[in-house]
């Protein structure tokens, strides 16, 4: 079979044509993201009209807008934006009638996080901001009419997250204790003392989702007494627990809450693909209908306060995400948009869930994507490693994965030990195993792909971003004979300098790094041994390294110190520095520049296809 023409990189990595549609709380308007002059901006249409009739609301000319929400006043959209990837997010308000834009949190060097809105208080919302002390986020009440930003709740110095009740009063928080434990605290009202409701040791997982109707219970996710997390309903006064949902295979996934009562309605479990358990009979018929609309795994991303209309997104591995408008009263589903409509002209590579045995008997879950129309035998392969590492890969559309498959590569994604979602034993099997057992899982996965006949042993690359970038460096340094080349995107090369340079608002996570990565003060030899920088002389394969100059998580020095060491040792390395990016590449022109170079690099060293 003749391979299809190569998919242009602009279609895969340029701006989405339309994305993230959101209904206003009253259902009269529909906002979404779309490019204006090549930059993602907010657009608005009447909910009853076609999106083609929408008008632009904002006129950003920088990195674009990627996250926003409707305020309950039905005329304000609030969006988050940083400066060139520094992650000091500010909250901006745009009035849909006047189109006036205001910076609601104009505090230099501070990071704002939206916390809560309330239909009963349409002109207010809560935000967490680290303006008082860069290490800690306090809660502020923001008035959309006046622009006032008033301190609501001060952080005592150990709170990592806040939760408001259904009267928009801050009555729950998640604290990080000095030994790495975490604690869920509650209080009866805003004047009462905080008290512990649940405490999790460093080996456990847990946190609160929301207050239940009536504000007398909390919906809490917890692994206590179970390997995977369960969804509990806990009475605040007594601590009495009721188990609402659990799956012995995986942790709780997405939780669907009613838009105004906040009652739990459904829970998702992501084993190989997303499956829903219905807890509220009121939506059972709706979910059954939505499941039959099109292929892919669906999620609710927007609902009116009246709950009569929903926006649903379908995520499918072999096509770009598709958005639908669902009228619950009429039981009518109408297609809205797809993020990348030009991709419909091309065939995407099939992506199948796989299970891989690790050398110590642990079962690894992952996904194998194959080039469309090619025999799945002794292909060049890219091991694509997810970041985090406390995250996981999912089934669904990923432009980078489909780009690689289109260029003729088998693509293997592995949820190695320390990935989240598979229970606490699997998570903590990776403690202090960076560059060791976590890396062995990747090596074993490559061996599996070779033994199964998918991969050519002489043409395997390792590629990833953040922790995935570290894994690419570690693969090149610690297992130099496994890979033909490696691509590192914003990956740390020295774990000591990584931990010493974390942002101040990560200070509460420092003990987590000590326990899961290694203590730089007490275990310096372990830290050095697991840092690819100190094994650079073993690297004997070509390297491509890319970095954002403003990255607050993995500083520019992490890439430049290993690039310098590689060059000093006469190794083959190409380095790309993007001065207007942070921890990843948001600007489409930078993405296109990077992927053009990566495509050329892989074609040269693995023999895949490439556009000129």
Active site residues: 466, 551, 583
Sign of the dihedral defined by the CA atoms of residues 229, 360, 534, 591, in that order: negative
β pairing state of 206-211 and 217-222: antiparallel
Instruction: Match 């690689």 to its residue by tokens.
Output: 404
* Phi/psi of residue 251, nearest 5 degrees: -70, 165
Angle at the Cα of 544 from the Cα atoms of 540 and 545, rounded to 5 degrees: 115
- Euclidean distance between CA atoms 376 and 512, whole angstroms: 41
Instruction: Match 């057992």 to its residue by tokens.
Output: 437
Q: Are 559 and 488 in contact (CB under 8 A)?
A: yes
- The alpha carbons of the chain give a radius of gyration, in whole angstroms, of 24
Q: Are 126 and 170 in contact (CB under 8 A)?
A: yes
| Beta strand extents in 528-595 (DSSP E only) | 543-548, 573-578
Q: How far is CA 103 from CA 10, 22, 80, 259, in A?
A: 32, 21, 10, 27
- Euclidean distance between CA atoms 275 and 286, whole angstroms: 15
| Beta strand extents in 280-378 (DSSP E only) | 297-303, 309-316, 319-327, 332-338, 351-357, 363-369
Q: Which two tokens stand for residue 307?
A: 């709950």
Mapping DSSP onto H, E and C, the string for 121-178 reads CCCEEEEEEEEEECCEEEEEEEECCCCCEEEEECCCCCEEEEEECCCCCEEEEEEECC
- Euclidean distance between CA atoms 582 and 573, whole angstroms: 21
How many beta carbons lie within 10 A of that of residue 27, not counting itself?
Answer: 17
- H or E segment and range at residue 220: strand 217-222
């Amino acid at each position: 079979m003749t391979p299809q023409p190569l998919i242009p990189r602009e279609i895969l990595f340029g701006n989405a044509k339309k994305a993230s549609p959101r209904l206003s709380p009253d259902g009269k308007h529909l906002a979404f993201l779309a490019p204006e002059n090549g930059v993602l901006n907010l657009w608005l249409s009447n909910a009853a009209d076609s999106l083609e009739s929408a008008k632009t609301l904002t006129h950003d000319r920088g990195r674009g807008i990627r996250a926003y929400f409707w305020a309950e006043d039905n005329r304000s959209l609030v969006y988050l934006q940083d400066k060139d990837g520094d992650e000091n997010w500010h909250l901006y308000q745009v009035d849909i009638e006047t189109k006036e834009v205001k910076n609601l949190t104009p505090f230099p060097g501070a990071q704002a996080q939206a916390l809560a809105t309330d239909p009963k208080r349409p002109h207010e919302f809560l935000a967490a901001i680290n303006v008082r002390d860069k290490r800690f986020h306090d809660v502020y009440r923001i008035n959309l009419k006046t622009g006032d930003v008033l301190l609501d709740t001060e952080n005592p110095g150990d709170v990592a997250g806040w939760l408001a009740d259904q009267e928009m009063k801050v009555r729950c928080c998640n604290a990080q204790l000095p030994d790495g434990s975490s604690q869920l605290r509650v209080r009866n009202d805003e004047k009462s003392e905080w008290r512990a409701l649940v405490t999790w040791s460093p080996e456990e997982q847990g946190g609160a989702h929301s207050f239940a109707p009536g504000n007398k219970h909390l919906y809490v996710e917890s692994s206590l007494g179970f390997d995977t997390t369960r969804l509990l309903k806990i009475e605040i006064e007594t601590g009495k627990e009721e188990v609402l949902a659990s799956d012995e295979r995986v942790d709780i996934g997405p939780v669907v809450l009613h838009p105004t009562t906040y009652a739990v309605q459904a829970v998702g479990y992501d084993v190989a693909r997303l499956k829903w358990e219905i807890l509220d009979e009121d939506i059972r018929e709706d979910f059954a209908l939505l499941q039959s609309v099109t292929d892919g795994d669906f999620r609710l991303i927007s609902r009116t306060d009246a709950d009569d209309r929903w926006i649903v997104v379908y995520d499918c591995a072999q096509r770009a995400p598709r958005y639908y408008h669902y009228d619950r009263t009429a039981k009518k589903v109408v297609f809205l948009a797809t993020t990348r409509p030009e991709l419909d002209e091309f065939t995407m590579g099939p992506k199948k869930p796989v299970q891989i045995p690790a050398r110590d008997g642990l079962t690894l879950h992952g996904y194998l994507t194959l080039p469309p129309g090619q025999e799945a035998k002794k292909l060049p392969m890219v091991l694509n490693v997810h970041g985090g590492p406390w995250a996981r890969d999912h089934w669904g559309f990923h432009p980078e994965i489909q780009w690689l498959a289109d260029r003729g590569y088998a693509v293997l994604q592995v949820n190695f030990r320390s990935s989240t979602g598979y229970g606490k034993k699997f998570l903590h099997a990776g403690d202090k195993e960076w560059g060791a057992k976590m890396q062995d899982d990747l090596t074993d996965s490559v061996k599996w792909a070779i033994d199964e006949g998918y991969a050519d042993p002489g043409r395997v690359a390792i590629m990833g971003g953040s922790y995935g970038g570290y894994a690419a460096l570690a693969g090149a340094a610690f297992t130099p004979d496994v890979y033909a080349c490696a691509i590192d995107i914003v990956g740390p090369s020295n774990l000591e300098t990584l931990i010493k340079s974390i942002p101040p608002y990560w200070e509460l996570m420092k003990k987590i790094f000590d326990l899961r990565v290694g203590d730089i003060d007490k275990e310096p030899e372990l830290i050095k041994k697991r840092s690819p920088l100190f094994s650079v002389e073993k690297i004997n394969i070509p390297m491509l390294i890319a970095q954002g100059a403003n990255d607050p998580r993995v500083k520019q020095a992490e890439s430049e110190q290993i690039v310098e060491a590689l060059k000093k040792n006469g190794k083959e390395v190409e380095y790309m520095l993007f001065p207007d990016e942070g921890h990843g590449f948001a600007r489409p022109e930078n993405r296109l520049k990077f992927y053009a170079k990566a495509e050329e690099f892989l074609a040269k060293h693995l023999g895949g296809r490439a556009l000129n």
